[in-house]
Structure 1
Amino acid sequence: MYTDGSRIDFKKFWGNSPMEMDWVNAEGRSGGMVSLWDPGFFHRTETIKHLYFLLICGTIRGVSEPLHILNIYAPRTAPAKRELWDHIKGMKAKRGGIWIMLGDFNQVRSSEERRNCNFDPTTAADFNSFIYEANLAEYIMNSFKFTRCVDGGNKLSKLDRMLVCDKFWGLWPNATLRALLRNLSDHFALVLITTPNDFGHIPFKFFNAWLAKPRLDDVVRSSVSLFTFAGPPDVYLAEKLRCIKNAVKAWNKTTKKEEDANLNV
């Protein structure tokens, strides 16, 4: 395991697009954090490194207030956690701006966030008090209930999370938090999506009752066989669906006229 972040090629995780980064080195097999960002979207103004966190301060495109991104790898002992929570509260109160805190907090908020693991109500109460006093909120996590899996899946905990301030929540109230499938790690990766998942109008409505009506299959097959378009794959698909929609729409209009005429006979 590398303890020096400078020896790791983080471009393998990012790809070929522009990237800036900073890190806190691990101590043996414990700790270690790295933050990566797109300099075209986020402009860093300051970095603060600590044994248990990495704070990146700056501004994001389109938002006037400063943004503070706190990458956390919390300690295990209760006294060290309380000291860390107090330190973070002080930083947040002093700096203001918009805050998002993410990472491994090494702490759960309730007994429901552990399965077959020891639950300490005292440290959970400390953590909940910190969240309340720092005026932080947490998005509901989709996909999975827990974020750490050990002992072949017998022991589960929710140790990783994302906490945001009220200003962040106000800017992105409909953001969604999703846990991804894990591979080599015993932790699940988390993704916070702030862009709306609204892809516009659905291509067309379709009723199962239409399947019992004549000529529908021929109409769809004919529109697909006659369709021609040159362009990107996503635009090609959209135009193909629009072609089918127009053909089905015309067929439905004609069919309804025929049905109405038969009813009036």
Structure 2
Amino acid sequence: MLGVIETKREVISKFDVARIWGYSTIGWEYVESRGALGGLLLMWDDAIFKSSNCYKGERWLCVEGVLTKSNFNCAFYLVYGALGREDKRVVWEELSYIVGLCQVHFCLFGDFNEILQIEERKGAINLLASAEEFRDWVHDMQLVDLPLNDRKFTWFRGRSCSRIDRVLVNIEWFEKFPNIRIKGGPRGLSDHWPLIVKVLRVSRGLRLFRSLDSWFTHEGFLRMVKNEWRNLRDAQFTCKLKALMVLLQKWHKDSFGDMDRRLLLLEEEINRVDN
């Protein structure tokens, strides 16, 4: 599945899509631009995903269907968030309605034009009301925000930097594909980093959750867990645990990094001091 935002095209033909995709076994849907503003395009391999329905809004595009290999009924949403607070509310409400209408597992991705955490905007000292409402919407929808581990921001303009591009999936989707991760692709001339969703290959067997003693002695760990648990509010207990596990994985990487390498460097430093 490939999503393109701000196509700036009022009409997109099969020839246009083929030039991007490269071969003919392709399905696509688009939302036309308003002159040179906006425009959305979704493309997929017909042999992998069979589309059954399509829904469109001014700032989002939904394709419902089935992943043929796993017979997984699902819907993909390409989102281009609005700029103003009231317009953003309209987008979130429309998406909530369509998600309820489809009643299948779903994945939302694109430029949401909003952050979830203060750390996602350079120089931010507090969350704006629109960001608080976006975070409430994510929690109410019980969405998992897939962590982006290879960079901190996805949008750059001058000295301004934010993480406004993301991939959100519901809990059932994450249970079906627990090893999905996202990384940034080459930016080129764009002011956005493209996001690439990948499924990590792991050995078969149960995936066990492990904690480290060092977590509980790390300053701010318990406060972070308590705040996240409260933010999840009335979500089911198991959903809270799964959402918390995703957060802990990102927090561990940010806080401890490559532990084996750090230990090796410390051992080398000890040997140098001893010598």
Query: Does TM, normalized by the shorter one, top 0.5?
Result: yes
**Which of 113, 116, 123 is residue 109 of structure 1 equivalent to?**
116
**What SS is found at the alignment partner of 1:66?**
strand
Give the aligned partner of residue 229 of structure 1. none
Give the aligned partner of residue 39 of structure 1. 46
Q: Once the 2 structures are TM-superposed, how far is the Cα of residue 116 of structure 1 from its aligned partner?
A: 4.5
Matched, 1:60 2:40: no
Ranges in structure 1 where 5+ consecutive residues have no aligned partner: 199-265
Give the aligned partner of residue 20 of structure 2. 13
Give the aligned partner of residue 179 of structure 1. 184
**Residue deviations 1:52-83 (CA, integer Å, cap 9, x gap):** 10000100113344211000111111011112
Give the aligned partner of residue 10 of structure 2. 4
The structure whose Rg is larger is 1
Give the aligned partner of residue 80 of structure 1. 87
- 2:10 partner amino acid: D
Q: Once the 2 structures are TM-superposed, how far is the Cα of residue 6 of structure 1 from its aligned partner?
A: 1.7
**Residue deviations 1:221-262 (CA, integer Å, cap 9, x gap):** xxxxxxxxxxxxxxxxxxxxxxxxxxxxxxxxxxxxxxxxxx
What value does the CA root-mean-square deviation take over the aligned residues? 2.0
**Which of 118, 128, 138 is residue 131 of structure 1 equivalent to?**
138
Q: Decide whether the 8 Å contact of 1:140 with 1:176 is kept in 2.
A: yes
- Normalising by structure 1, report the TM-score: 0.69
Q: Once the 2 structures are TM-superposed, how far is the Cα of residue 146 of structure 1 from its aligned partner?
A: 0.8
In structure 1, how many angstroms separate the alpha carbons of the residues matched to 2:154 and 2:71?
A: 33
**Residue deviations 1:19-40 (CA, integer Å, cap 9, x gap):** 1111101123432110000000
Larger CA deviation: 46-55 vs 57-66: 57-66
Ranges in structure 2 where 5+ consecutive residues have no aligned partner: 1-6, 204-275
Give the aligned partner of residue 257 of structure 1. none
**Which of 149, 164, 167 is residue 159 of structure 1 equivalent to?**
164
The total of aligned residue pairs comes to: 196
In structure 2, how many angstroms separate the alpha carbons of the residues matched to 1:89 and 1:20?
A: 25
Larger CA deviation: 111-120 vs 139-148: 111-120
Larger CA deviation: 175-184 vs 85-94: 85-94
**Residue deviations 1:118-165 (CA, integer Å, cap 9, x gap):** 9652111101111111111011112211111111xx111111100001
Stretches (4+) displaced over 3 A:
62-65, 116-120
Q: Once the 2 structures are TM-superposed, how far is the Cα of residue 88 of structure 1 from its aligned partner?
A: 1.3
Q: Once the 2 structures are TM-superposed, how far is the Cα of residue 95 of structure 1 from its aligned partner?
A: 2.3
Give the aligned partner of residue 24 of structure 1. 31
**What SS is found at the alignment partner of 1:9?**
helix
- 1:168 partner amino acid: W
Q: Once the 2 structures are TM-superposed, how far is the Cα of residue 11 of structure 1 from its aligned partner?
A: 2.0
- 1:189 partner amino acid: P
C-alpha distance 119-76 of structure 1, shift in aligned 2 (>3 A):
farther
In structure 2, how many angstroms separate the alpha carbons of the residues matched to 1:2 and 1:107?
A: 22
C-alpha distance 65-172 of structure 1, shift in aligned 2 (>3 A):
closer
